Amino acid sequence: MVCLGNICRSPLADGLMRFKVEKLGLNIQVDSAGTIGIHSGQGPDPRMVQTAKNNGIDISFLRARKIKDEDFTIFDHIYVMDRSNLRDVQSLAKTIEEKEKVKLILDVLDTTNYKEVPDPYYGAERDFIKVFELLDKATDKLIEEIVQ
C-alpha cells in the first residue's frame, strides 16, 4: 500500500488489510510505504490513528518508510492511492512486470465516484472519515477477490 507520505492513507490501507488477513487466517504479507521519505520512522498521523481506532483498527504501531527497489520483487501487488502515486511508483519499476504490479487501489471498486483516495493531510476530520470509508470498501473487495 503506497501513498505520498506513508502517514495517512497507506498506513490505514495497510492496517485494514492486516486486520482482515489476520481475521481470515490468510497467509499474505502486507506492508506500506511512501513515495517520499520525509516522514520516515514516524508513526501514522494522529488523526488517522484516531479514525482507525474509532473503527476498531490499530495502526499506531506502523512506522513510515520510503518505497524501495526490493518492494517490487517481494510483493505481487502494489496498490497506490492516487494518480500521482501511480506515476511516481511506476517510474521506479525496472521491468514491464514490475510496472504492471502497480495499481490504483480504488480500481477494485466499480461502484464509487472516487477514482483516487483524496489526500486528507490538509483536511478536516470528515476527510479522514472519507478515507476510512473508501479504503474499508476497497480492502473488503481485495480480500473477496483473493479468497475467490
87 vs 94, which CB is nearer to ligand 4NP?
87
- 3 has catalytic annotation: yes
Which one of 26, 102, 121, 127 is in contact with ligand 4NP (CB under 6 A)?
Answer: 121
Q: What's the CA gap between 114 and 147, in Å, rounded?
A: 25
The pattern of x and - marking residues 26 through 65 that bind ligand 4NP according to CB under 6 A reads ------------x---------------------------
- 119 has catalytic annotation: yes
Q: What's the CA gap between 15 and 98, in Å, rounded?
A: 24
User: Can you tell me which residue has the cell 479504503?
Assistant: 135
| Binding segment (CB under 6 A) for ligand 4NP, from list 7-15, 91-99, 107-115, 139-147 | 7-15
Contacts for 34 with CB less than 8 Å, ≥ 6 apart: 2, 3, 4, 5, 6, 7, 10, 40, 64, 65, 66, 67
Q: What's the CA gap between 77 and 1, in Å, rounded?
A: 9
User: Can you tell me which residue has the cell 520516515?
Assistant: 40
Query: Does 6 participate in binding ligand 4NP (rule CB under 6 A)?
Result: yes
Q: Which of 3, 8, 18, 47 is catalytic?
A: 3
The distance of closest approach from Cβ of residue 15 to ligand 4NP in the complex, given in angstroms and rounded to an integer, is: 13
Q: What's the CA gap between 44 and 99, in Å, rounded?
A: 27
The pattern of x and - marking residues 100 through 119 that bind ligand 4NP according to CB under 6 A reads -------------------x
Binding site for ligand 4NP (CB under 6 A): 3-9, 38, 119, 121
- Which residues are the active-site residues? 3, 9, 119
